[in-house]
Structure 1
Amino acid sequence: TGLDQQAAGQTPFTDLALVAALNLGVEISVAGGVKAATTAQVRDAGATIIVAGAAIYGAADPAAAAAEITAIAHA
């Protein structure tokens, strides 16, 4: 979702749901802003590949953060 669209109130979750609803039979990858608090929403909106960066490498315990995000993604 472009910054101009975000400024107008559109969320990446809206775009993700629209892409997932196309039912193209492809994997849908999401990166950017993924953290433990958003992982379930990303998964539930249709992402099949979830990429978390800063939420892991910026965490006090990167291994624990990665494990938490992975568990939520596979729930």
Structure 2
Amino acid sequence: MATNVSSAKAVLRQKETVQMLNADLINGARAAAEFCGLPIRTIYHLTETGSLPVIRKGRRLFYRRSELEAAFRSEMQ
């Protein structure tokens, strides 16, 4: 019985982690540009030069809000 409870807790923690990560994802360069207040071409340029961290799934681009905030926070300082 204890293993069922512990495995259920592990599954719940995993689901919470996935939800948290999904909430942090921005789908596409256009959405990232809107989030950052920059032109979409700037986002593409920064992505291609490696200045912005990106997750590529096929042709789709995903950005993490937290990483975008960190990237522009370090430029401001």
Normalised by the length of structure 1, the TM-score is: 0.25
Instruction: Compare the two structures and name the one with the higher helix fraction.
Output: 2
Higher Rg: 2
